[in-house]
Amino acid sequence: MIRSMTGYGRAEATGARTILTVECKSVNHRHLDVALKLPRVLTAFESDARRLIQSVLPRGRIDVSCTLTAAEGTVLTPLTVNVAQAKEYADAARKVAESLDLADGPSLAWVMGQSGVLTREEQTPVAPEDAWPLLEQALSAALAELVERRETEGAALAQELANLGSVLAGYVETVAQRAPASVERRAARLRERMQTILAGAELDHARLATEVAVWADKTDVSEELARLRAHLAQLTALLAGEGPVGRTLDFLIQEIHREVNTIGSKADDLEISQAVIAAKSALEKMREQVQNVE
């Protein structure tokens, strides 16, 4: 099954004190391009995270963001009170009040608002031995969901490409059916012109046959039709296969377009020309769809 390069995945992993949330978003890109945002405590594992992503996704622009939040009932930055420093501020304020003969001493709000009385002690949210297992668990789950969505969209892409391939095959058969009749019509036109020029004189059938043969050789599209049928068979096989086939499909459509162009340049028939134009339209739609195939 082919996969799209567009997808989204999200997962959480719960540690002793924290919850790690990982979000993965992907869009189409020529190569694998990973943008990874990790909390400071997890930056040491960036290389491991990138290797995990690369083992799952071969192509696409991948944006991965990780956030840490406190688990329920856990405070990551507990509040501490420096009682000794608070007492020092209060004693100093009282001395100033007494020396100035002021009735009001320092209030609790004033003391608590002084620098260094209240502080938050930041603690490590994840123990070093738990950091990578937590990140690996959340990242693996998020990537699995992203891949699942890419496969779902890939199935829709495969169906659309298969339908367009069938339409294209129909145009190929139209050309194949019209090509022999085109040679006969060309011979008839040459015969009429030669008879007009000769004004009733005897027609040189050998010369006519030679002219028709030369023209038929120049406008023969049998090789192009054979290659087109082979390309369309390969298209069907690729859509039914597995693994990254986006680049191969892109190249294959270029080859099909080249053969269709060649047939168009040789065409001497209105219906063949119309079939070529319609085939190019179908190919353009296929090219747009293939740009999003992994």
Under the banding of pLDDT at 50, 70 and 90, the label for residue 274 is very high
Give per-residue pLDDT as tens, 141-188: 999 999 999 999 999 999 999 999 999 999 999 998 888 777 677 766
C-alpha count within 13 angstroms, C-beta hemisphere, residue 81: 7
Give per-residue pLDDT as tens, 40-92: 889 999 999 999 999 999 999 999 999 988 776 555 556 677 888 888 888 88
User: Residue 180's pLDDT is what?
Assistant: 76
Cα separation of 105 and 90, whole Å? 8
| Cα torsion 90, 94, 96, 100: sign | positive
User: Residue 272's pLDDT is what?
Assistant: 87
Give per-residue pLDDT as tens, 216-244: 666 678 889 999 999 999 999 999 888 88
Candidate from 186-190, 274-278, 286-290 with smallest mean pLDDT = 186-190
User: Residue 115's pLDDT is what?
Assistant: 84
Answer yes or no: is pLDDT of 205 > 60: yes
User: Residue 243's pLDDT is what?
Assistant: 82
pTM beyond cutoff 0.85: no
In the chain, domain spans: 7-74+128-151, 79-120, 154-290
User: Residue 81's pLDDT is what?
Assistant: 79
Summarize the confidence of residues 190-210 as an average pLDDT.
Answer: 64
Answer yes or no: is pLDDT of 123 > 60: no
Q: Smallest Cα–Cα separation from 273: which of 264, 281, 282?
A: 264
Summarize the confidence of residues 182-211 as an average pLDDT.
Answer: 66
User: Residue 100's pLDDT is what?
Assistant: 80
Answer yes or no: is pLDDT of 124 > 60: yes
Collapsing DSSP states into helix, strand and coil, what is residue 102? Answer: coil
196 vs 131, more confident: 131
Cα separation of 148 and 152, whole Å? 6
User: Residue 34's pLDDT is what?
Assistant: 96
Q: Are 254 and 291 in contact (CB under 8 A)?
A: no
What is the second-level CATH architecture of the domain 7-74+128-151? 2-Layer Sandwich (3.30)
User: Residue 191's pLDDT is what?
Assistant: 67
Using alpha carbons only, give the angle 216, 221, 224 rounded to the nearest 5 degrees. Answer: 155
Q: Smallest Cα–Cα separation from 37: which of 67, 73, 60, 2?
A: 67
Any bridge partners for residue 25, and if so which? 8, 63
User: Residue 121's pLDDT is what?
Assistant: 59
User: Residue 181's pLDDT is what?
Assistant: 73
User: Residue 276's pLDDT is what?
Assistant: 93
Per residue in 134-152, is it b (16+ CB within 10 Å) or e — as a string?
bbebbbbbbbebbbebbee
Give per-residue pLDDT as tens, 9-51: 999 998 877 889 999 999 999 899 999 999 888 999 999 999 9
Q: Smallest Cα–Cα separation from 7: which of 26, 35, 30, 28?
A: 26
Q: Are 20 and 66 in contact (CB under 8 A)?
A: yes
